[in-house]
Amino acid sequence: MPATQKKFRSWNPKQYASTPITPAAILPEDDLVFFLIDLVPQLDLAPIYAHYERETRGAPPFDVAMMTTLLVYAYCVGVFSSRKMASACERNVAFLAIVGQQRPDFRSISDFRKIHLDALAGLFVEVLQIAGELGLVKLGNLALDGSKVRANASRHKAMSYGYMTKEVERLRAEIAALLQQAEQLDAEQDAALGSRRGDELPDELGRRESRLQAIEEAMTRLEQEAREKADAQRAAREEADAQREAAGKKRCGREPKPISDQPEEKAQTNFTDPESKIMKTSNKGFDYCYNGQAVVDEEAQIIVAADVTAAANDQQQASPLGQQTKENLAAAGIETPTAEDGSPAAIPLSADTGYFSAENVGQLESQGFDPYIATGRQKHNQGLPSGIEDNDQPDPDATAKQRMSHKLRTESGRARYAKRKHIVEPVFGQIKQARGFRQFLLRGLPKVRGEWKLVCLTHNLLKIWRYRYALS
């Protein structure tokens, strides 16, 4: 240590060897970890406990409440990898407050999450119920939006249908050549030695056959998707033709081209996670993603419904998310607003132009919502259209799009829709930027749905904890 006149605070790293250290002595008493240690065991964990009642073999498992608290806390603070969780159980004071001397390894954590993913996702409604009891869900204005989240799949593990066709031909030719070579080698060895050698050929043949099988399965998936898409297009075309004939109108322009059941040459699928789809991301690039959906309440940014889809387009998600919202509110015991005469009042719900269609508007209204959905994108160099009075009525012959456009130009409609961005978009920022959840760890749509529910319920738990902290 260099000689100096400056006085420094004393430092003795060996002092901790003789000083007892406990998380309660280091962390503040209102820390998130203590909040979750008190709350999570009160949730309904019976479905998880029931799993272990059926399995009597092996060593005693880790306590269900401890493992659930560990997963929930880890997702709250942005630790999603089971290996990082296991490491934190040895080094992080907050994690030690949960596990104590019981230090689960990464495999135990990973298996617990995979086995009980559905049960963990089922806690979403319970957490929503707690938020409702605290008055954090008012249903004064809901907002629906989606965000692309990367799948656990690499772009380098994908192949187009056109390339698959060529690859299948090449592999079949190589397999045929290897089989012919093996037969020739067998004949030569039988003539010379009377017994078979050539033990390296089966390995080469096996690798090509397994690759051929994987590619053929991928081609089958793409062909099935193409057939389903073609059937949907035919049904839509037949419906449009029937409506035109009923109205006595003739087709304008040329006859449409026949609908093909074959996939396009550029149609791709991924070998790592076949259910993920290539989507345009916020950085103007393309990656294999899932589309995470959320319905958020204005009062405290509580997520009241959440889902994941493999479709990049949001238009088909409005009605399912609306239905899930109503079911979750009913299951959580959250009362919907009522009108002055005591009848159920429509719940305002805003969404961007990606969700607009006349069918979506009608379905949301029938579900008990008052939708405010943009009918088009506003250009940055143009101001807002002039507003109109609330009591002004649209033209009686107006289309659904014209009626919605008129509704959004009223003073109340403009005020309602203007809140959409600061209701739902900060939620995705808190999940993806603040907590760092930018990629799913699990694969396959069912597991990804469960993981997204886990992310959303921990978002709600953080809101509840901060609300409780603000009141204390």
pLDDT tens digit sequence for 127-178: 999 999 999 999 999 999 999 999 988 777 776 667 667 766 776 776 677 6
Co-location of 338 and 410 in the same domain = yes
The pLDDT value given to residue 5: 79
Give 65-102 pLDDT, tens digit per residue: 999 999 999 999 999 999 999 999 999 999 999 999 89
Dist CA 347 CA 359 (whole Å): 18
Co-location of 314 and 431 in the same domain = yes
- Assign 129 to helix, strand or coil: helix
Which residues contact residue 462 at a Cβ distance below 8 angstroms, ignoring those fewer than 6 apart?
A: 32, 76
The pLDDT value given to residue 198: 47
For residue 380, is pLDDT > 80? no
Q: What is the pTM of this model?
A: 0.81
For residue 273, is pLDDT > 70? yes
- Assign 436 to helix, strand or coil: coil
Residue 131 lies in a domain: no
For the ranges 15-19, 245-249, 270-274, 372-376, which has the lowest average pLDDT? 15-19
Residue 333 lies in a domain: yes
Co-location of 179 and 262 in the same domain = yes
- Element containing residue 155 per DSSP (H, E): none
H-helix segments, 63-142? 64-76, 82-91, 93-99, 106-115, 117-121, 123-133
The pLDDT value given to residue 118: 94
For residue 378, is pLDDT > 80? no
Q: How far is CA 373 from the centre of its chain?
A: 22
The pLDDT value given to residue 134: 93
Report percent pLDDT > 90 for the chain: 48
Residue 329 lies in a domain: yes
> Of 270, 289, 324, which marks where a domain is finished?
270
The pLDDT value given to residue 251: 74
The pLDDT value given to residue 164: 65
Co-location of 342 and 420 in the same domain = yes
Co-location of 282 and 329 in the same domain = yes
Residue 405 lies in a domain: yes
Co-location of 255 and 291 in the same domain = no
Give 308-341 pLDDT, tens digit per residue: 999 988 989 999 999 999 999 999 999 988 888 8
The count of residues in the chain is: 472
Structural domain containing residue 92: 18-115
Co-location of 42 and 88 in the same domain = yes
Co-location of 204 and 300 in the same domain = no
The helix-helix angle for 358-366 and 400-409 (nearest 10°) equals: 70
Q: How far is CA 411 from the centre of its chain?
A: 35
- Assign 199 to helix, strand or coil: coil
- Summary count for the chain: helices (H), strands (E): 17, 8
The pLDDT value given to residue 280: 85
Co-location of 222 and 326 in the same domain = no
Residue 243 lies in a domain: yes
Co-location of 95 and 217 in the same domain = no
Co-location of 264 and 404 in the same domain = no
Residue 6 lies in a domain: no
Co-location of 208 and 307 in the same domain = no
Residue 465 lies in a domain: no
Q: What's the mean pLDDT when you consider all of the chain?
A: 84
Report percent pLDDT > 70 for the chain: 84
Nearest C-alpha neighbor of 276 from the set 447, 159, 446, 445: 445
Give 416-436 pLDDT, tens digit per residue: 999 998 999 999 999 999 999
Dist CA 305 CA 200 (whole Å): 56
> What are the CA-CA distances from residue 376 to residues 345, 403, 405 (Å)?
27, 13, 9
Number of domains comprising the chain: 3
Residue bearing the bigger pLDDT, 402 or 241:
402
Phi and psi angles of residue 21, each rounded to the nearest 5 degrees, phi first: -120, 125
| Beta-ladder partners of 331 | none
The pLDDT value given to residue 257: 79
Residue bearing the bigger pLDDT, 171 or 260:
260
Q: How far is CA 119 from the centre of its chain?
A: 17
- CB distance 419 to 350 below 8 Å: yes
Tokens standing for 62?
Answer: 């880790």
Average pLDDT over residues 217-239: 74
For residue 20, is pLDDT > 90? no
Residue 25 lies in a domain: yes
The pLDDT value given to residue 196: 46
- CB distance 314 to 291 below 8 Å: yes
For residue 31, is pLDDT > 80? yes
